[in-house]
Amino acid sequence: MGEVIEPSVNKKVSMLWPVLAVLTIAAAISGAAYLPTPVVDYFLKQDILDRSELWQRRITLHLRDTEATFRNGTTSPEENDFLSLLPEASDVYRFKLFTADGRVFWSTRSSDLGTINEKDYFTSIVSDGEIYYKHEPKPASEIDGLLLHSHNTAPDAIHEIAEVYVPMMQNGEFIGAIEFYTDITKVRTLFIQRVHTALIALSALAIIVVLLIGGLIVRSNRARLNALNSKSKSERALMDQQLHLAQEVKLLGELNEWLQSSRSLDELFEMFTKFMAYMLPDCAGSIYVYSNSRDVLDGVSAWNGGELKRHIHPDGCWGLRRGRTYTYGVHEVDFVCEHVDEEDGEPYFCFPILAHGETVGLMHLKKVAHADKEEFLESRKLAQMCAEQISMAIANVRMRDQLQEQSIRDPLTGLFNRRHMIDRLRHFLMTSSDKQQNTHLVYLDLDHFKRFNDTHGHDAGDYVLRAVGEILDESCTDDEIACRMGGEEFVVLWPRLTNEELQERITVLCSKISGLALTYQSQPLPKITASIGVATAPQHGELPQELLRAADEAMYQAKHNGRDQVIYYRTDQNPPLAEQSQPIVTSSTSDHEERNLKSASKRGTTEIAAE
């Protein structure tokens, strides 16, 4: 609160102003000369202490069992690999891991291993769970890697080095410590220069200001001072409110920017969780979204200890049932939502997440135990804006996913299109090259389909294409895909199959196609047959266009041989993938063609030579 300035104070200020002016000038000059170094050292120390905790967390997060590591003084090879990379990914150029008795069991310098730190600060400060900071000059030769990367640095050049000992505590027990070394020479010199320059400028400005406004201060009247004092409290409160609002607006802007850049719902919820934990630290929260069936909501994320259930029913939440935000704990009569287990009287919010007029989920916030109830209730407006942010982000991600799905699907059959097939084939070829695994490409063309369309109409043809597409889609599992190349041509990608598995899958596929008995508009349709070509990577090509060309040639050879059969592409240098071609519906071929196929089977394979 502001203090009322009495008239006597105004008079004293008038009398003491010359003395105050001289003291101000002297203080400004002295400050510009002597303050930069201790000021910079103080803030650098605070910064290094904060960063040392981040370095510590980065190390402990990659240790399989932190307590066991420090108690036993041992690390695994994987942990050694990560620890050795830390200096390259941080400002630390050297660090050591100590056991509780001060023995070094891991260090970026192998010569430090086994040494014992018996210094007083280690046994009396670090072992008591306090961080110890030390700043001292050292020659450049003591800094790991500096002379290797900086050719202009003399070995005897003096650098400012900060050393930090961070204790490792487990349930209040000291189990070890981590010592970090970081070079602060450049940043310290730079900041000292900047602070020195700033203080000189501020000193000059202060002198000018004192000389200019000194007389005005003496001449200021009692009424104005009283008015300023009476307004000071309200102005400070308003300023604090404005600063708080500005900070909230800034955070909301950052939240919106990050959410709009998310590539998936999982990534979106992860971003939102981190922001909410920071923006509303006194709120334990959770997010639920409607399942595809829309009969339940699935729990997707939680923060600050918020309870997250796997599923909740929409009828069990008053916010969802009423279609607006529900606040529990502020009315004389309240009803607890079914998804809130404990009726402890603590207030909570249920925010329906709406996107384009449709409810897509729920955000639940509850006051944590140590938080103030009034502050929690005042956070409703900010929480409501956060719910609006995530609602639009969810809608955008879902719309982007739908557009992406439409861009890679054939609208008639629902299979993938040629562009997506090429992308997946390229991925399979790269993977098979690394892991020495086969990738099989099955190229299928329906026989006499143009004649079929001319006879029965394009609607019947589309009906057949959809039926064949369903068979091909059912033949794929995991990351296997079926696609429509265009017209009556289809491609199936089967990675990681052995030759025996490939032949078995081909046999099943042929059996299902030949077994199609379709009726369109109460009229039975003719039997469906197909010519199939099969090629395998890497034997028949290591590029998508090479493998497609090989399968296409095999398919056309099947058509040339009389259609209604399978041809396995081969070269003279590679053994065939199958021992014989397989007619899909043998009854549809002529006797002469069947004799040719049987003759080819006796020879061992039906094959085409690579050009």
Backbone angles phi, psi at 377, to 5 degrees: -65, -30
Pairing of β 530-537 and β 566-568 = parallel
Backbone angles phi, psi at 130, to 5 degrees: -105, 145
CB atoms within 10 A of CB 546: 15
What is d(CA 407, CA 393) in angstroms, rounded to the nearest whole number? 21
Q: pLDDT value at position 11?
A: 56
Count Cβ atoms within 10 A of the Cβ of residue 277 and give its class: 0-12 exposed, 13-18 middle, 19 or more buried.
Answer: middle
Q: pLDDT value at position 552?
A: 95
Q: pLDDT value at position 473?
A: 93
> H or E stretch including 133?
strand 132-139
Lowest mean pLDDT among 95-99, 215-219, 491-495, 539-543: 215-219
Lowest mean pLDDT among 202-216, 465-479, 536-550: 202-216
DSSP assignment of 439-481:
EEEEEEEETTHHHHHHHH-HHHHHHHHHHHHHHHHHT--TT-E
DSSP assignment of 262-287:
-SSHHHHHHHHHHHHHHH-TTEEEEE
Provide Rg for the chain, Cα atoms: 38
- The tens digit of pLDDT for each residue in 476-501 reads 998 999 999 999 999 999 999 999 99
> H or E stretch including 182?
strand 173-183
- What crossing angle do the helices spanning 265-279 and 222-260 adopt, rounded to 10°? 160
What is d(CA 502, CA 439) in angstroms, rounded to the nearest whole number? 10
Backbone angles phi, psi at 159, to 5 degrees: -120, 150
Question: Is residue 553 predicted with pLDDT exceeding 90?
Answer: yes
- The tens digit of pLDDT for each residue in 571-592 reads 753 444 443 444 443 333 333 3
Three-state DSSP class for residue 76: coil
Three-state DSSP class for residue 529: coil
**Cβ neighbours of residue 443 under 8 Å, at least 6 residues apart?**
489, 490, 491, 532, 533, 534, 535, 548, 551, 552, 554, 555
SS (H, E, C) 406-431: HHCECCCCCCECHHHHHHHHHHHHHH
Between residues 302 and 402, the one the model is more confident about: 302
Q: pLDDT value at position 568?
A: 93
Between residues 586 and 69, the one the model is more confident about: 69
**Cβ neighbours of residue 468 under 8 Å, at least 6 residues apart?**
413, 444, 446, 490, 513, 516, 528, 530
**Cβ neighbours of residue 476 under 8 Å, at least 6 residues apart?**
482, 492, 494
SS (H, E, C) 547-589: HHHHHHHHHHHHHHCCCCEEEECCCCCCCCCCCCCCECCHHHC
Phi-psi region at 235: left, alpha or beta (left = phi > 0; alpha = psi -120 to 50): alpha
pLDDT band at 31 (very low <50, low <70, confident <90, very high): low
What is d(CA 367, CA 307) in angstroms, rounded to the nearest whole number? 12
Q: pLDDT value at position 147?
A: 46
CB 564 within 8 A of CB 583: yes
Domains in the chain (CATH in brackets) are 36-183 (3.30.450.20), 258-404 (3.30.450.40), 418-603 (3.30.70.270)
Between residues 391 and 348, the one the model is more confident about: 348
Report residue 132 as tokens.
Answer: 């110890």
For residue 538, is the peptide bond before it cis, meaning its omega torsion is within 30 degrees of 0? yes
Count Cβ atoms within 10 A of the Cβ of residue 5 and give its class: 0-12 exposed, 13-18 middle, 19 or more buried.
Answer: middle
